A and B are shown apart, each in its own frame.
Chain A
Amino acid sequence: MANWDILQEMESLRREIDDVFRGFGTARLLGPTFLPRLSGREYPHINLSEDENNLYVEALVPGIEPQNIDLNVMKGSLTISGERQESESSGRTWHRRERGGGTFLRSIELPIAVNSERVEAQCKNGILTVTLPKAEGAKPKKITVKID
């Protein structure tokens, strides 16, 4: 039990409980892609991944012009905000209306330090990909053990 931290344990327990109430798992993975009206804090949906040099945040932003998305990196957190225009409703007879609209803002705490000067973002087919290069000090270092 290296570095057992009571606060971290509580945080992970809280997260697990949250996930249960949110319907984590397939229900969530296959759920609606964009409904900020109902819960602005949880949209856009994100995926966080990494490789040796970078952290990647992918966000689902269908129907949002890339210039209407605001990205901010500050103190180890990434904030994505913007607005999806709602379609006009006058003069139309609606059959179904499932797509949400409105403003959204979401902050993601980054697990390791990043080089905020070199962050890049790209938008393709409604998916925003943010590439955050890891700070030099945060990269894993390989140490070889010499055998005499």
Chain B
Amino acid sequence: MPQKDISVTRQGRSLAEQEHLRPQKNHIRPAVDIFETEQDLVLVADMPGVDKERLDINLERGILTLKGEIEASNHREPLFREFSLGGSYYRQFELSDVFDSNKTSAEFKNGVLTLTLAKSEAAKPRHIEIQH
């Protein structure tokens, strides 16, 4: 099993962008799965209602920001409501700077975002052979 060698926390650096300082009112924190394999760090987020074009993923100075605007709902007469259609998703993570930004891939399917960040060579676990 690979070692946990990347730290994932949720602090933003600039005050205005920090997740916990943003107004709570209209933003939803998407539920995420984050796991590490030998080569990659993979983040999976539930973001139903977002169109691919309105999804904004940003990795800057070690801060990963997920943003997604939910398509405005149509104007039907609501009878019963359990989730809001409107507003946006917003969530941040702080990652240590050990990714190869050229090898990042994102996929969005059925309202689920899968983000694969390749570890840079320096961050990969290395086997050292013992010479006889």
Contact = CB atoms under 8 A, between A and B. Distances in A.
A93 B8 CA distance: 12
B32 A99 contact: yes
A47 B110 contact: no
A95 interface: yes
Given A45-B82, A93-B1, A65 B31 contact: no
A91 B1 contact: yes
Contacts of A28: 82-83
Contacts of A98: 31-33
Given A49-B76, A125-B48, A62 B112 contact: yes
B76 A50 contact: yes
Interface residues of B, number: 42
A30 B84 contact: yes
A58 B74 CA distance: 12
A111 interface: yes
B62 interface: no
A45 B46 CA distance: 13
B80 to A, nearest CB: 4
B77 A51 contact: yes
Given A92-B36, A125-B110, A126-B111, A33 B46 contact: yes
B64 interface: no
Given A63-B110, A63-B111, A126-B46, A96 B8 contact: yes
Interface in B78-108: 78-85
Interface string A86-101: 0100011111111110
B82 A29 contact: yes
Nearest to A87: B33
Interface in A42-58: 45-51, 55-56, 58
9 contacts: A29-B83, A30-B29, A51-B77, A61-B48, A91-B1, A93-B3, A96-B32, A98-B33, A99-B44
Interface of B: 1-4, 6, 8, 24-25, 27-37, 44, 46-52, 71, 76-85, 109-112
